Structure 1
Amino acid sequence: MRYTQAPERRRELLRRVEDAGYVSSTEAAVALAVSEMTIRRDLRQLAAQGLVNRVAGGASLPTPTAGAPFEQRRGAAMTEKEAVARAAVPLVTSDAVVALDAGTTVAALAALLPGGLTVVTHSVPVIQTCVGRADLELIALGGAYHGPTRSFTGPITRTSLGDLAVDVAVLSATAAGPAGVYSANASDADTKRAMARIARRVVLLLDHGKLDARAPMRFMDLAAVDVVVIDGGVAGEQLAMLRAHCRQVVVAPLSGAAPARVDGDLPGAPPVARRPARAAVAGR
């Protein structure tokens, strides 16, 4: 049967996801006699409504990850997060002081860090990863413990960050899009802003599902990010949006076999430069 009308096509896609728990974009395109691009567009619309989760190759039943406990969020999109973490390693190897936030993708990066770095973090999982390594210096930030993110947060955390300067801040997000980068809660957003403010460079780690997600707390503009790292499951339209808003985009292969693809600076834009700490982020 050919589904020519978008509403009936999306209802059929939703029925298939509910029945099987997953729908393949390729298989759905054949079954519904439309292009795979049309199916991807329909799935993005369903994801924007919170009816499905976008995953590599299709969509699955939604799981409430925004604001969910850390371990539940860490288990979502694991392949994508691991690919992004691997691709991010070369972006921090030459930086002496690296700030890592409390995101699950950032936690995956912590296990891959080369020696010789100083790590600044409020994340308990990152602290646990780094504390046993003699080749890393660790600055663990205190504050009020927040269970869902397994991190320290609040005024003490912000004050501690205000006394530091870092070479690169590696941040994660619950959602991202043309309007900005978002977090699930105010305290987490506040800590991310503080990390970005003291950093010379900001690297944002995203799995492609974050481009279809929604979250309430906006903490920075995409244009204020120096490098975005995203997995190879990103759709062409999403990648074009990132290129239009960001200075540099690194696309991480999901297989791990091929090298990450780097999209250069925007045409006509100056090369990505190391910002002086604090001053250039004051307007964020």
Structure 2
Amino acid sequence: MTFGAADGLAGGVRYTDAPRRRDELLRRLRTTGYLSAAHAAADLDVSEMTIRRDLRQLEVDGVAVRVTGGARLPDGDGVPFELRADRSAAGKAAVARAVAKLLPDGATVALDSGTTVARLAELLPAGLTVVTHSVPVVTVCAARPDLRLIGLGGVFNPATRSFGGPAVRAALSDIVVDVAVLSATAVGPSGVFCADPYDAETKRALAAAARSVVVAADGSKLAARAPIRFASLESVSTLVTDASADVAAVRAAGARVIQA
């Protein structure tokens, strides 16, 4: 595929190839949470119409949401981590306390990224080994001499404050954990969902390394929607949510649910 003269060089890198250009747009979107079509067109030396077509395809792929003038990340992914942490704060705290009670003494526990799991890190019982790619979880656990910490490095995603990519998945292939605690953007009878394909790959790798999987999701997640299913309900040992959640549908689908 070729484009006109306007589709030329941007910072010494050619973006005439649509898949590479979309990868670059997605990289920028993940860095800032929002992408201006006009600015992207100028930076990549292509037309705004070309950028709008790219953003339309990224939306079809489920990794972007088009808005006036450009695009944002799906659901809450474009919102800074600290602001998301304040949403449903009481529910997240209740879920974190309930999950902490489920962790066996001396277990090896994998902790996902996410604001609810970050709260859990503050409540972990002593004697655990913690495996994580989450910077907030690493920060909390590194200050606790009563925990053993295994950090997973990779490509940093500012939106989730975590590392991901092939390096994380490769490290997890050599690790066996007792319990993986996963966050979610949405939970329903058809499974557990998130909004980012790279995040989904990491969650699947965490689940594959674990003997059992706990999903920690405040009640708002049972009423939410997201495009990428990373786990079926059958693969989840326990769903922990708060008292505000309508759990009838997921229970009818066979999920074991604890409401905090």
Calculate the TM-score normalised by the size of structure 2. Answer: 0.69
How far has the Cα of 1:93 moved from its partner?
3.5
Q: Name the CA shift for 1:134/1:95 in 2 (closer, same or farther; >3 Å).
A: closer
Quick one: distance in 2 between partners of 1:244 and 1:66? 30
Measured in 2, the distance between the counterparts of 1:90 and 1:75 equals 23
Q: Are residue 136 (structure 1) and residue 144 (structure 2) matched?
A: no
AA paired with 1:131?
A
What root-mean-square deviation, in Å, do the aligned CA atoms of Structure 1 and Structure 2 show? 1.5
Is 2:120 the partner of 1:120? no
Q: Does structure 2 retain, via aligned residues, the 8 Å contact 1:67–1:184?
A: no
Task: Please tell me whether the aligned partners of residues 106 and 127 of structure 2 are also in contact (alpha carbons under 8 angstroms).
Answer: no
Following superposition, the deviation at residue 249 of structure 1 comes to: 1.1
Whichever residue aligns with residue 135 of structure 1, its letter is D
Q: Which residue matches 2:253?
A: 245
Rounded Cα–Cα distance in structure 1 between residues aligned with 2:223 and 2:170:
33
Residue 229 of structure 2 aligns with which residue?
Answer: 218
What is the DSSP-based 3-state SS (H/G/I as helix, E as strand, rest coil) of the residue aligned with 1:65?
helix
The alpha carbon displacement at 1:184 in A equals: 1.5
Please state how far the C-alpha of 1:179 moved relative to its aligned partner.
Answer: 1.6
Q: C-alpha displacement at 1:246, in angstroms?
A: 3.8
Query: Residue 105 in 1 paired to residue 116 in 2?
Result: yes
Contact 1:110 / 1:130 at 8 angstroms: preserved in 2? yes
Q: Deviations over 1:109-167 (max 9, x none)?
A: 01000100000000000000000111000000000111000001000011011110000
| 1:1-284 correspondence to structure 2 within 5 Å | 65-94=76-105, 96-235=107-246, 239-252=247-260
For 1:67 and 1:102, locate their aligned partners in 2 and report how far apart those are by CA, in whole Å.
15
The CA distance in 2 between the partners of 1:142 and 1:67, in whole Å, is: 22
Aligned counterparts of 1:87 and 1:173: Cα–Cα separation in 2:
16
Q: Does structure 2 retain, via aligned residues, the 8 Å contact 1:226–1:246?
A: no
> Structure 1 pair 246/203, CA: closer, same or farther in 2 (3 Å)?
farther
Distance 1:201 1:95, change over 3 A: farther
- Counterparts of 2:176 and 2:108, CA distance in 1: 8
Q: What secondary structure, in the 3-state scheme, does the structure 2 residue paired with 1:234 have?
A: coil
Aligned-pair distance for 1:95? 5.1
How many pairs does the alignment contain?
A: 187
Aligned equivalents of 2:92, 2:255: Cα separation in 1:
21
Gapped runs of 5+ residues in structure 2?
1-74
Counterpart AA for 2:202 = T
Contact 1:165 1:198 in 2 (8 A): yes
Distance 1:132 1:149 in 2: 21
Partners of 2:213 and 2:237 within 8 A in 1 = yes
Contact 1:158–1:191 (CA under 8 A) maintained in structure 2: yes
Identical positions, percent = 54
Gaps in structure 1 of 5+ consecutive residues: 1-63, 253-284
More displaced 10-residue stretch of structure 1: 177-186 or 126-135 = 177-186
TM-score, structure 1 length as denominator? 0.64
